[in-house]
Amino acid sequence: MSLDLNTLLQDWPHESGSIKVRKILGLDGREKLQLRIDLGILQMEMTGRPDGHRPHNCESLLTYHQRRAARVEARDEEYELTADQCSELQQEGIQYYHRYLSLFQLNDFAGVIRDTERNLDLFQFVADHTDREELGWSFQQFRPYVLMMNTRAKASILLGDGKFADAMREIEGGRDAIQDFFQQSNFPELAQKSSEIAFLDEWLEEISSKRPLSKLEIMQREMETAIASELYERAAELRDAIKLLQTRGSKV
């Protein structure tokens, strides 16, 4: 059998500026994820480590080091990662990046949440187990982007359920987490230049302008209109109805 991939690549051409993703059924009977890149196709497992490997019989290198660290620290000793180990962990993190980016294109938001939280755990683990600031920052510099993708996935689920207010709170929380990260870093000025914060602010504004008004908001606007029209009796009725609705809401 020919090893030439041209036929496969021609049947699924790459498009510059477009992220092309698909699911296929593997020879082992399990679903696989494929991502088209300019020079080929990346194929990933849907769960576990994306390349399907189990380093040291663990789900991932991160899991392996986490277990080793737990045993060492149980003896009141410090567990420190070497530069080579950090490099290996970073390469593994890139695999998860490719997968959560692909899953987002397929609206598999639960998978995006799983993989972004996994990489956030990776960043924190490295920060906790290396004294070399440049090694820690080589991971932490990606935290704003991963926080943004995690927020997008969580908010997208809420929007799909019609929970606009909850989605907006999720977006605000994600934006605040990114701002806090920059403020606590050595580069607080980067918050003003953050494309992640800018994106979440724009998305928040878009949702706010398009979302349907709640019953409470409709009544509040109607009351404002009644006051402006000097319909004070109607305004008083609406004011009482609003207080009652707020009281009921606070008891839920």
Segment 158-211, tens digit of pLDDT: 999 989 989 999 999 999 999 999 999 888 898 989 999 999 999 999 998 887
Task: Give me the mean pLDDT over the 33-58 stretch.
Answer: 96
User: Which pLDDT belongs to residue 242?
Assistant: 85
pLDDT of res. 208: 86
The residue type at 133:
E
Comparison of pLDDT for 123 and 247, the residue scoring more? 123
Which residues are CB-contacts of 17 (< 8 A; sequence separation ≥ 6)? none
DSSP 3-state of 123: helix
HSE toward the beta carbon, residue 123, CA cutoff 13 A:
21
State the pLDDT at residue 3.
83
**Does the pLDDT value for residue 83 go beyond 80?**
yes
Say how many C-beta atoms besides its own lie within 10 A of residue 49's C-beta: 20
Phi–psi pair at 110, nearest 5 degrees: -65, -40
* C-alpha dihedral, 27 to 31 to 37 to 40, nearest 10°: 0
Quote the CA–CA distance of 199 and 126 in Å, as a whole number.
27
Q: Cα(93)–Cα(105) distance, rounded to whole angstroms?
A: 19
- Kindly give the interhelix angle for 143-160 and 195-210, rounded to the nearest 10 degrees: 10
Alpha-carbon span 221 to 227, nearest angstrom = 10
Is residue 92 very low, low, confident or very high in pLDDT (cuts 50, 70, 90)?
very high
pLDDT in tens, 115-129: 999 999 999 999 999
What is d(CA 195, CA 182) in angstroms, rounded to the nearest whole number?
13
Residue 144: the pLDDT is 96
> Burial level of 55, CB count in 10 A (0-12/13-18/19+)?
middle
What pLDDT is recorded for position 250?
57
- In percent, the amount of the chain with pLDDT more than 70 equals 97
pLDDT score of 252:
44
Closest to 144 measured CA to CA, from 185, 103, 86? 185
Rounded to the nearest integer, the mean pLDDT of the chain is 92
For the chain, domain boundaries: 142-212, 215-251
Res. 18 pLDDT band, cuts 50 70 90: confident
- Tell whether the model's pLDDT for residue 15 goes beyond 60: yes
Q: Per residue in 155-169, pLDDT tens?
A: 999 999 989 989 999
Q: What pLDDT is attached to residue 5? A: 86
Q: Are 242 and 219 in contact (CB under 8 A)?
A: yes
- Report the run of H or E that residue 156 belongs to, with start and end: helix 143-160
Q: Give the best-scoring range by mean pLDDT among 25-29, 64-68, 189-193.
A: 64-68
- Whether the per-residue pLDDT at 215 is higher than 90: the answer is no
